[in-house]
Chains A and B, each alone.
Chain A
Amino acid sequence: MQHVSPIREPLVTGGKTYHDITEDVSRQVEAKPNIRWATALAISLVGLAIFAYSVYRTLWYGIGEWGLNKTVGWAWDITNFVWWVGIGHAGTLISAVLLLFRQKWRSSINRAAEAMTIFAVICAAMFPVLHMGRPWLAYWVLPLPNTFGSLWVNFNSPLLWDVFAISTYFSVSLVFWYIGLIPDFATIRDRATGPIAKRAYALLSFGWTGSAKAWSRYETVSLILAGVATPLVLSVHTIVSMDFATSVIPGWHTTIFPPYFVAGAIFSGFAMVLTLMIITRKVYKLEDYITIEHVESMNKVIITTGSIVGIAYITEFFIAWYSQVEYEQYTFINRAFGPYWWAYWSMMTCNVITPQLFWIRKIRRSLTATFIISIFVNIGMWFERFVIIVTSLHRDYLPSSWAMFSPTAIDVGVYVGTFGLFFTLFFLFAKYFPVVNMAEVKAILKSSSGVTHSHTKTMHATEKELNTNTRHNNE
């Protein structure tokens, strides 16, 4: 049996039983939609409509509907892209890396975090397509055999690496997430009463039987996918950062970018997970599954990554000075004191200063404080990308081309609209999919629920079937 330190707080509180877990989670799926959910979905749909309209304007009239110009060729589009991709980092980190590191506290949050990853990557993927002048030819960036002669993509281009990185990440995350959902879908299927629900969940659960063989394969696949997904957590943002790092533009051309971007992505991803989880646990009454302990653990990740990001900001300044390249130096002075100083200092405040409050245990364990700070981090990380992209471009080498960027209503509409898209997907998910991984939570129940279980034998059997983490433990 696994040893659980007595001073560690239990991961599941409230003395839950297996049945309670099934009840608590499935209740949301089985109950009639409540008015709060419907209202939230309606608001999201308004956001989605804004998205649809802004996209229509962009596609029908052209990218000129945005505020870009000859000097600043990317602004909100790529800012939003990097921001959403960053947010999409937490899910895989929680489910894959923490799985490999056997961090059991991940069990109750990984489902929602992974869903968030998928939806965030969908939102992110909108931008590389939408920002193209001719999005109907977007498939040209794929190395497809074609009849245009021997036309091939340019493997030198970081944008192409992006295509591979994002699509790989998306597919792996999707499969990983879905595999995890299958046993839970089966649970819901077995409990379902309506004919439509029965059929739908039967279809979604791929005929899961719950046999030992099925569980065994499930565990194996999860482990393999975790292994595949783990390098992706590092690779995606590394490659996204190369969009900038491999260019010649001062402020972009920076070797520190890959680690700095990965840290930033985890930082923003955890912040977003927190923002969403604090709401979900409240609305779905999942306080016993997503505990203060969880929130605190995540806050610790935030303070770590936030500090890494902060050091990266300072390092950039140091290197700019150390390089003795006048363009590089000016870019950083311009970031902090030029016309976009407010964006820079917003970033510094939100990303570097606010997370430091988590050193204080009280704040770290306060839901309200965590919620507010997580919002700050979300804002700060958006500004980070804006600062990197716009303030580097708007004053690059030749002063004759220096220009300012200001967004149009369509720019704002596309960004706000992706929230509509995100939350529409998220609310649909929260209603129709089990938001907590029942199977995995059940697996940690005995080891970490705060309730003493006397039937060790039964527990052994259960663990063998359910818990990968403890399977090979030396008891």
Chain B
Amino acid sequence: MKNRIKYWKGIEELENTPEFQKNAQNEFPEFLPVNENGEEASSGKTKRRDFLKLLGFSMAAVSLASCEAPVRKAIPYLNKPVDVEPGVANWYASTFFKNGDYNSILVKTREGRPIKVEPNTSSSLTLGTGPRAQASLLDLYDNNRLRFPVIKGDEAEWEEVDRQIVERLANVTGKVAFVSSTIISPTTKKLIREFGSRFSNFEHVTYDANSATGLLAANGGVIPGYDFSKAKVIVSVGADFLGSWLAPVIFAKQYVETRRVNPEAPAMSRHYQFETWLSLSGANADVRVPIKPSEHSAVVAAIYQAVTGNNGGAPASAVTESPVLAAAIKELKANRGRALLVCGSNDPNVQAMVTAINDAVGAVGSTIDPAAPYYVKQGNDANMLRLIKEMNAGQVGAVFFYDANPVYHHPLTEAVVSGLAKVPLKVSFADRVEETAAFCDYVTPDHHYLESWNDYEPRKGYYSFAQPAISPIFTTRQMQDSLLTWLGTNILYYDYLKDNWRSAERGDFDSYDKFWEQLIHDGVYESQTGTIALDIVNDFEPVTPVARPVKGGPGIEAVLYEKMTIGTGEMANNPWLQELPDPISKATWGNYVCMPRDMAEEMGVTQGEVLRVTMENGKTIELPALMQPGQAKGTVSIAVGYGRKVQSMPVAYQLGENAWPLAQVVDGIILYSGNVKLEKTDALHPIAQQQTHHTVMDRLVVQESTLSQYLENPLEVTEYIKIATADGPKKPALVSLWDDYEYKDHHWGMVIDLNSCIGCGACVVSCQVENNIPVVGKAEVLNRREMHWLRIDRYYSAVEHEEGDFVAMEDPAENPSVIFQPMLCQHCNHAPCETVCPVAATMHSSDGLNQMVYNRCVGTRYCANNCPYKVRRFNWFSYANNDKFDYHMNDDLGKMVLNPDVTVRGRGVMEKCTFCVQRIQLGKLEAKRENRRPKDGEIVSACAQSCPTNAIVFGDMKDPDSKVSQLLAREHQSRAFHVLEELNTQPNVTYLTKIRNLA
């Protein structure tokens, strides 16, 4: 063997230890420590690899800890609940009822949480929903609701509360009073009666914040079964039946049936409105006469005298001599059996005259159905006044408050408070510690209506139900269950309710359970047999149709009114309602003193200047002034429902002032008007209006005509703009530089009938709920940055002016005619927004939608500038998870209302109406799964679905049988017009000219 030089590879090889020899055969050396076992670790030394691991770990830990990532738990279903398919909505029939506003609804739930309210089409009372019903959903997720029962302000257990109340009820001395607003649930009323039967001296006092005592007194304790749909002549004296009077959603449905026109049936009712403040009904009226509150009885008396020949006892005035009133009387008389007079006065004597007039013009049996009166208001002012007296006299041993908050809205607040101090046991069922609950010993919070079981009878023979759409969020308990517990029974209200309905006529159902299931499934039940009768007490004083003397005088008269948004104030903590503009003044977030312009000029007041209003009863409030066209001369009007000063209503906290104390108690009834003194203060308080320019400036953006013109030639009621070309005038769409899109499958379109639109705003809220539109608050509305995708433009007619007098046409007329125009993205086929976006974030879809891609948007706002309709909305701030916008999108509970199908937009992106693309997509997918085309009516936008008058029709214009196609075909060249047609934007939204039935 040759001795060669050996090159060693390492010290180990040179030394050639036995260990090396052993390892040399192994492909992978093992002597590098891979420290995994405890033995090595216990040596206490950190190995090289461990060091790197530790370094990496600690780096990660330190950086993670410094980031403070919020822990969000997503807990998957361990077992899938029955009927809950993730991503698929469940619908439950229910009912919304609050102080007269009745809506039969369907509740859309996703993964167990209600996210939308839609109308229940099975109901024959309502077509759509009102704005309050839409917004009521958010109250469910209100963080300020009580999460537990309260004893004297402290959290308590239900067992303890029950024990104490039962014990104290057992030893109660004196009267037990159950104070509630109107209850239209037959079963609840039965239960209350049963509860009361336990006590020797029990009274169920029903009183309504905005009372209808006068009307009830004159009609045997019920509201006459008005049916506006049968009327040819409607005369309303101070009754805002479309906005705030009694059951507006029901009346709106009936009313609009007489207002629609089409070539086959070109007839319309004529609507006269005599009123002080410009109400929604007044805005829709054909003839509107502004009158002072003190003149209401004179107007009614004049009609009474003319129609019945009896003397109403009211002195003649300028109004009673007016030719318009004479015309109204003439028409009332001429349309026997097709005429209807309604009156908003709470004076029983006036209402007695109204009843007599309606009798005389043959309304009963046609425009008033005597067999089907309404029950939506039952309150008797006298009973409440008596109870207040009794409380102050120490005669009341226990009082329960259910849906009643007299400390806030009873005119005799001080007496209520002093009386409460003398009542030993005070229990409130309020869902939060509001004004009255703050004075109560116990607050046993009631469920939200979407967590409750109940039945309703708003009109005789028309029933509906409520069922829980979610299990109770907080440890609350339905009032009825509380009563049952205190009665000492173990029955649940659900069983009580079900049991009570056993007597109902079952029809073809063989078993009661099946019938009951059907009842709850349908949510409505209509039967005239009357087996489930609502307990109606007629304890009203008999009245005579003679007007009582009214204090008129030369001074300024004030009238309190209910806004169609906030209503009596119960839902004031709802940011959707606060941000929904008043349909007339377009003001949000607060109340104000509406005054006619000449009064403001006389006083030297400008809009926003704070006035001190002193009522003849000595009560004073300070509110900013608002110039309101149409306001009767020498009058002001103030909305109730504001001025909440309780911590449990942070949204409404200190918005506006409480106007309820200005109401006056006269002869046992509450009157909502009186003489006031106005004083200027130095303060300025801006009013957040969503529209600040009020006239249409003689532009053709909204069109109207008259019935007589329509009857003459329906093809001449709309003015169509033509573009001058070398070959003569042409339709703008024919003069185009652009290629048209080709739509192969669908072409979505919308038709808005301005004749049917009453301007209520239900669509605005519906759109807000459906599309997760943020609430921006008063300051941002003042900055003109509201986010509503759909708004209702309201234009007043201008003062008389010459053509081209731009200064004059900015001023609304003293008593203007009003027109509403829902305005949303027009989904132009030649969209100005699409061409200008530098990043193509807004583009056209293959089925005609103008789409907005939020993720792509960089926020140049060029599209919004270039939109002639100004319907694009920009996210100026981050509206979710931002303490500056502390509304529902800033807390976890409030976020539960968000629609999971719609993105919550981030800051800096543009957004706008999508035609509810998520619904279109869902409908298309469902149809695709069944291998068919979507059927007309399957896919509807939220606004169209919610509209209480069906003014909005949505559908596929490619489908010749769809309602929208047929409407377009019918109204072509007649009433159908596009806004700003001369711009050749070719919108997919078509409007139908409004027709007025002018006298």
Contacts and interface: CB of A to CB of B under 8 A. Distances in A.
Interface of A: 61-64, 67-71, 73-74, 128, 131-135, 137-138, 140-141, 151-154, 156-160, 163, 243, 246-249, 326-327, 330, 333-334, 337, 393, 395-404
Nearest to B696: A399
B860 A397 contact: no
Given A63-B874, A157-B836, A249 B858 contact: no
A140 B909 contact: no
A333 B780 CA distance: 30
Given A132-B908, A154-B840, A70 B786 contact: yes
Of the listed residues B870, B906, B980, the one surrounded by the most CB atoms of chain A closer than 10 A to its CB is B870
B856 A151 contact: yes
A157 B859 contact: no
A401 B701 CA distance: 12
Given A62-B877, A128-B860, A140-B839, 6 more contacts: A62-B878, A71-B870, A249-B868, A333-B806, A397-B980, A399-B795
6 contacts: A63-B859, A246-B836, A396-B870, A399-B697, A399-B795, A401-B691
A73 B823 contact: no
A138 B865 contact: no
From B858, B875, B878, name the one whose CB has the most chain A CB atoms within 10 angstroms: B858
B784 interface: yes
A376 B839 CA distance: 38
A399 B693 contact: yes
A70 B907 contact: no
Contact of A140 (B696, B697, B858): B858
Contacts of A71: 784, 870
B876 A68 contact: yes
Interface in B658-714: 691-699, 701
A418 B858 CA distance: 23
Contacts of A154: 835, 837-840
A399 B832 CA distance: 19
Q: What secondary structure prevails in chain B residues at the interface with A?
A: loop
A74 B861 contact: yes
B794 A62 contact: no
B696 A248 contact: no
Contacts of B806: 330, 333-334, 337
B980 A133 contact: no
A188 B202 CA distance: 105
A73 B864 contact: yes
**Residue in B780, B832, B876, B979 with the greatest tally of chain A CB atoms within 10 Å:** B876
A277 to B, nearest CB: 35
A73 B910 CA distance: 11
B876 A396 contact: no
Interface string B340-369: 000000000000000000000000000000
A327 B981 CA distance: 13
B457 interface: no
Contacts of B985: 248
Given A141-B839, A160-B838, A248-B983, A70 B794 contact: no
Interface in B383-414: none
Contacts of B113: none
A168 B537 CA distance: 85
Size category of the binding interface on chain B = 35 or more
Contact of A403 (B692, B865, B876, B910): B692
**Residue from B784, B793, B857, B875 whose CB has the most chain A CB atoms within 10 Å:** B784
B836 A159 contact: yes
B835 A157 contact: yes
A401 B832 CA distance: 17
A131 B865 CA distance: 13
Q: Which 7 A-B pairs have the closest CB atoms?
A: A133-B859, A133-B908, A64-B876, A73-B861, A400-B793, A69-B784, A401-B870
B697 A73 contact: no
Contact of B865 (A63, A64, A247): A247
A163 B839 CA distance: 12
Given A63-B874, A69-B783, A246-B836, A400 B794 contact: yes
B204 interface: no
Contacts of B783: 64, 67, 69
Contacts of A74: 861-862, 865
B866 interface: yes
A133 B784 contact: no
Contacts of A135: 858
B958 interface: no
A326 B860 contact: no
Contact of B837 (A67, A157, A396, A401): A157
A62 B793 contact: no
A402 B985 CA distance: 20
A135 to B, nearest CB: 8
Contacts of B746: none
Given A70-B786, A132-B860, A62 B835 contact: no
Interface string B552-592: 00000000000000000000000000000000000000000
A316 B68 CA distance: 59
A160 B862 CA distance: 11
A133 B859 CA distance: 4
B865 A399 contact: no
B785 interface: yes
Contacts of B862: 73-74, 157, 159, 243
B858 A402 contact: no
Nearest to A137: B858
B872 to A, nearest CB: 8
B869 A398 contact: yes
Q: Which of B691, B806, B861, B864 has the most CB of A within 10 A?
A: B861
B873 interface: yes
A154 B840 CA distance: 5
Contacts of A156: 835-836
A395 to B, nearest CB: 8
Nearest to B980: A397
B794 A134 contact: no
A151 B837 CA distance: 13
